[in-house]
Structure 1
Amino acid sequence: MSSDETDDVLPKEDEMFKTKKDKYKVIALLGKGGYGAVYSVLRLSDMEKFAIKCEKATAGKKVLLMDCNVMKGATQIKSRHFCTVLDRANVKDRFNFIVMKLIGKNLWDLRQDRGDGKFTMGTSLKAASQCLVSIEHLHSFGYLHRDIKPGNFAAGRKESNEHHVIFMLDFGLCREYVKRAEGKDLRAARTTAPFRGTTRYAPLASMLQQDQSRKDDIESWLYMVVEWTSGGLPWRKLKAHDREKVLQYKQDLRTKPDILDDFLFLCPKKEFTRILKYLDTLGYYAVPDYKFIYFCVQHAANANKIKDADPLDWDPETPYMGPIEQPGDGKVIDLEVEGGASTKDFSKRNAKEKDQSDETRKGKKKTSGSPNKERTSSKN
């Protein structure tokens, strides 16, 4: 069956469907990937706008279950950086869906809106702090993201007064790194592991086809933060199929001072170098010191005379009113997951997964050369 034929099962504009809780009307398509699509909808009981994430009933990999488990953890610790599943249902033989908060532009698009293609230092470091906190929260639920990039973080909507809050998105490549059923021990590292993520931001472990761990999400976070601080990465002109060349750049910046200088152009060099060197000391089983990394970001803010009230670039007339919070210690919380995701079934499913690279992932939507443009589970 062609992708066009399978897309026929997904919602259409103005289509209405109901759940046990409410009735919804589709407004517009927000993004599409191989798993399904995301739409804005109107809840007819109060005419409030929400988002629905749909996956085709025939989808080989079910992503909504992972979304539900992650967001259950976020609700449990009252994290502000994740959407909440408000409703869920299915349309028989067509698609399953969850209803969640509608949010605003992702951080890739917000950076592209800037004339110089980069955030100011204040916005860069405030966004870096919020994203770091959300990563620590995700890790405390027992999950790795494995595709940290600007397109997978978004600001809230101004209409809901959340436009200074950054939300983490897209949990389609998440993996549970603990064996919850066996006392929350870490899963042993596999001998080899398929590539996961987006070439531009992927950590060394993923590019070397090694199993990823908590430090690797933070390595991707650093590449992302450097990009929106400086306006670009040294390997920005390379494409997804140039993975070996991108890998060489990432290895060289650790051994060649000129490459490191190019990488940290316009960035707080002292603090970002300290973070990079610290991450490179960590092994697969290490618990990152999230508070130390946060301290480095705050030190950079102080050195650059950034104040807590300095506005964000996408709301320059309003003093910053987003969260100012430190990350925790990453300790894994007790969480009742759905679908046996922490049992042997989950391990078997992951063992059978094929390499999910930028090039091979199905259903990719063209995005004018951007590795971040979509805010859905389409991995570019």
Structure 2
Amino acid sequence: MTSDESVPKPRFQKGDMIAGWKVVQKLGEGGFGMVVEVVNRHGLHAACKAEFYTGRRDNQLIKKEVPILRLMQWSKHFCKIHLAGQTTTDVNESLNVIVMTLVGEPLSRIRRQCPSQAFTRSTAVRLLKQCLEAIRDLHYTGYLHRDVKGGNFAWHEESRTVYLIDMGFVRQYIVWKDEEKTEVIKRPIRKKAHFLGTSRYVSLNVHLRKDQGRRDDLWGLVYLFVEFIKGKLPWHDDNDRVTTEKKAKIGSKLLKGCPVEMYKFYDHVRCLGVEDKPNYDLLMNILEKICARCDYRDEDRLDFERGGRYYEYIMDNKENISNSHETTSITGKGAQKYDDESDENNEETSVTDSGTTEESDAEESTN
């Protein structure tokens, strides 16, 4: 696969027009394209991802993302599409573009701005509820995310909603049985699968090169919640081999310091088979019980919101955050552009066995 560095990216200046949308500012770049904030003639601000159309299937990430987002327009946890398709630049360069909801900073970034780089329990539990809803909605549509981590959940300030972003590793687990498309079946489980995801957050199954199922996305939520509470995971600075060993040995000790109800959450995820359907209602009820016992209310301010416990702390320290590099995640209203080094060193990048950022068709079809 072509490396990210060798693929040319579109370049835009403030005031440039992209299919009727005016560029406001650059938000980030990476992968195969550019992300900019745009505004239409009605004053609606949105995010625009753009990549050169090359005709090659292996680096058309936007074309892969659009069909999935179209299927998810019913869910409040996914970006709404304003425009998607191909357009041309002033010099007749072909682009794939998608204009969609402008969301805020990723949860990983927000967490690291808090004292001890951790949320309070109240914020952690309420964020996990929304993350679980997002994963559940994606699963209901027949897809696995396969890269669950704080960097792939973003906060939308105005609606107070968590958005699940970055569909680059999404894979169907429900497929049509035949060409007539009269019946759907579960996709056959591969005997051996390529490593895909982010080492810190993938399940032990992924480290062991087992095929991923819905359970593996939920393991990502377990690890994400522990990180919300503690600021880092026990294998935060470890290589893949040590991380695998620690995940295999730690068991429920991982949850030390977490609400006691989370042990039931953990046990349910631990007992799921690769093809099993999680009991999402059970998991949500566990989180609701924590909220009821501790009097956590959805309408209460989260740590990082105006009036929240850490809001003033975050505002006072934001000027110290380096903005020398930018990531590919979409920033938005009330957010800042953020540096690539910080995210990469603290969260790790998503990879496959070969170090690329997307599986090829051959890898996807391996059984």
Task: Return the match for 1:56 from 42, 52, 71.
Answer: 52
Distance in 1 of aligned mates of 2:256 and 2:52 = 44
Distance 1:144 1:4, change over 3 A: closer
| Paired position in structure 1 for 2:330 | none
Q: Structure 1 residue 147 and structure 2 residue 147: aligned?
A: yes
Distance in 1 of aligned mates of 2:262 and 2:31 = 35
Matches within 5 A, 1:8-23: 9-14=9-14, 16-19=16-19, 23=20
CA RMSD, aligned part only?
Answer: 2.6
Q: Structure 1 residue 290 and structure 2 residue 280: aligned?
A: yes
Helix, strand or coil at the partner of 2:221:
helix
Q: TM-score, normalised by structure 1?
A: 0.75
Quick check: 32-41 or 197-206, which moved more?
32-41
Q: Which amino acid aligns with 1:26?
A: V
Helix, strand or coil at the partner of 2:347:
coil
| Paired position in structure 2 for 1:267 | 258
Q: Following TM superposition, by how much is the alpha carbon of 1:118 offset from its aligned partner in structure 2, in angstroms?
A: 0.8
How big is each residue's C-alpha offset from its partner over 1:181-215, in whole Å with a ceiling of 9 and x where there is no partner? 36221001011111111000011221111110111
- Runs (4 or more) in structure 1 with deviation over 6 Å come to none
| Paired position in structure 2 for 1:80 | 76
**Percent of aligned positions with the same letter in both sequences?**
27
- Asked whether the 8 Å contact 2:81–2:100 carries over to 1, the reply is yes
Q: Which amino acid aligns with 1:156?
A: H
- Asked whether the 8 Å contact 1:10–1:94 carries over to 2, the reply is no
Q: Which amino acid aligns with 1:179?
A: V
- Asked whether the 8 Å contact 1:151–1:372 carries over to 2, the reply is no
How big is each residue's C-alpha offset from its partner over 1:198-255, in whole Å with a ceiling of 9 and x where there is no partner? 00001122111111011110111110111011211111122xxx1121111111112x
Distance in 1 of aligned mates of 2:184 and 2:3 = 42
Q: Which amino acid aligns with 2:63?
A: L
Distance in 1 of aligned mates of 2:34 and 2:193 = 27
| Paired position in structure 2 for 1:65 | 63
- Asked whether the 8 Å contact 1:230–1:265 carries over to 2, the reply is no
Helix, strand or coil at the partner of 1:369:
helix
Matches within 5 A, 1:110-125: 110-125=110-125
Task: Return the match for 1:300 from 279, 290, 300.
Answer: 290
- Asked whether the 8 Å contact 1:109–1:373 carries over to 2, the reply is no
| Paired position in structure 2 for 1:236 | 236
Q: Following TM superposition, by how much is the alpha carbon of 1:26 offset from its aligned partner in structure 2, in angstroms?
A: 2.3
Distance in 2 of aligned mates of 1:273 and 1:309 = 26
Task: Return the match for 1:25 from 22, 25, 30.
Answer: 22
| Paired position in structure 1 for 2:43 | 47
Q: Structure 1 residue 317 and structure 2 residue 315: aligned?
A: no
- Asked whether the 8 Å contact 1:108–1:373 carries over to 2, the reply is no
Task: Return the match for 1:369 from 342, 345, 350.
Answer: 345
Distance 1:25 1:372, change over 3 A: farther
Q: TM-score, normalised by structure 2?
A: 0.78
- Asked whether the 8 Å contact 1:191–1:211 carries over to 2, the reply is yes
Task: Return the match for 2:245 from 241, 245, 248.
Answer: 248
Q: Structure 1 residue 226 and structure 2 residue 262: aligned?
A: no
- Asked whether the 8 Å contact 1:107–1:151 carries over to 2, the reply is yes
Distance in 2 of aligned mates of 1:71 and 1:120 = 32
Give 5+ residue unaligned stretches, structure 2.
Answer: 310-338, 351-355, 359-367
| Paired position in structure 2 for 1:346 | none
Q: Which amino acid aligns with 1:219?
A: W
Q: Which amino acid aligns with 1:264?
A: L
Q: Following TM superposition, by how much is the alpha carbon of 1:47 offset from its aligned partner in structure 2, in angstroms?
A: 3.3
Q: Which amino acid aligns with 1:74?
A: M
Distance 1:304 1:26, change over 3 A: same
Give 5+ residue unaligned stretches, structure 1.
Answer: 255-259, 320-363
Distance 1:185 1:31, change over 3 A: same
Q: Which amino acid aligns with 1:63?
A: L
Q: Following TM superposition, by how much is the alpha carbon of 1:309 offset from its aligned partner in structure 2, in angstroms?
A: 3.0
